[in-house]
């Protein structure tokens, strides 16, 4: 079985990725574990392009196996789908999410429930050892809340309310979030696409 090298340095993501891919790919390494250093300008116009840019850079740096990378973001419909692919850079990369989340809530002041729709989107790209490339995308639909809720997750999770669950994604356990999240769904989709090859 081919090993997978995932283009991320984020340990939280690696835990999630390993648990989802484990049944098919027992060996999933981070770039660091694979001894690979690669930098890529994420200047694509879509989540898929950015994920592919990252995966290609790691493959070009000599990764031995299937290289995967992800790109994700939050789309707020009332704000013309901002911050979208710029979610990490919104208000500056080093600005705390307490401030980013308060800003988004502020920009939705007075906006009624039904217009607060939003989604987390995730694309996963793969570059295979023979050079073939794949990309998939998945989303989770929700609404922007009126205040931060929950201590779990990261980023925009405390303001992302999922009506069907009656909770924000920051109020879910890691396992619960993996079952419904954009990243969990996209990873499972990628696993299925790879099986078809």
Q: Of 158, 186, 142, which is closest to residue 21 (Cα–Cα)?
A: 186
The pattern of x and - marking residues 100 through 139 that bind ligand IMP according to CB under 6 A reads: --------------------x-------------------
Site string for ligand IMP, 9-48 (x = CB under 6 A): ----------------------------------------
Beta carbons of 40 and 91 less than 8 angstroms apart: no
Of 189, 38, 30, which Cα lies nearest the Cα of 123? 189
What's the burial of 142, exposed, middle or buried (CB within 10 Å: 0-12/13-18/19+)?
buried
Using CA atoms, how far apart are residues 33 and 12, in angstroms rounded to an integer? Answer: 15
CB of 193 to ligand IMP, least distance (A): 19
Q: Does residue 70 belong to the site contacting ligand IMP (CB under 6 A)? A: yes
97: Cα separation from own chain's centroid: 16
How many residues are recorded in the chain? 197
Stretch that binds ligand IMP, among 20-28, 57-65, 67-75, 128-136 (CB under 6 A): 67-75
Structure token digits, residue 113: 């429930």
158 binds ligand IMP (CB under 6 A): no
CA–CA distance, 54 with 63 (Å, rounded to integer): 12
Q: Which two tokens stand for residue 148?
A: 């931060």
- Residue 67 binds ligand IMP, judged by CB under 6 A: no
153 binds ligand IMP (CB under 6 A): yes
Among 65, 145, 155, 184, binds ligand IMP (CB under 6 A): 155
Q: Which residues are catalytic?
A: 71
- The phi, psi pair for 30, rounded to 5°, reads -80, 165
The distance of closest approach from Cβ of residue 9 to ligand IMP in the complex, given in angstroms and rounded to an integer, is 10
Count residues binding ligand IMP (CB under 6 A): 15
Q: How far is the CB of 196 from ligand IMP (least distance, A)?
A: 25
The binding site for ligand IMP (CB under 6 A) comprises: 70-74, 87-88, 120, 153-157, 169, 181
């Amino acid at each position: 079985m081919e090993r997978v090298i995932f283009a991320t340095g984020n340990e939280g993501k690696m835990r999630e990725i390993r648990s989802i891919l484990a049944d098919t790919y027992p060996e999933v390494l981070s770039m660091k574990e694979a001894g690979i250093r690669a930098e890529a300008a994420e200047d694509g116009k879509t989540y898929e392009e950015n994920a592919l840019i990252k995966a290609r850079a790691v493959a070009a740096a000599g990764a031995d196996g299937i290289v995967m990378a992800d790109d994700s973001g939050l789309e707020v419909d009332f704000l013309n789908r901002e911050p979208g692919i710029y979610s990490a850079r919104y208000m500056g990369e080093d600005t705390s999410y307490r401030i980013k989340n308060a800003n988004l809530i502020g920009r939705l002041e007075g906006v009624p429930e039904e217009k607060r729709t939003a989604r987390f989107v995730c694309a996963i790209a793969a570059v295979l050892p023979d050079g073939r490339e794949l990309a998939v995308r998945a989303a989770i639909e929700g609404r922007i809340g009126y205040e931060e809720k929950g201590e779990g997750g990261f980023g925009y999770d405390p303001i992302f309310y999922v009506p069907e669950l009656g909770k924000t994604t920051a109020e879910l356990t890691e396992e619960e979030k993996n079952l419904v999240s954009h990243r969990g769904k996209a990873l499972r989709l990628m696993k299925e696409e790879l099986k078809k090859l």
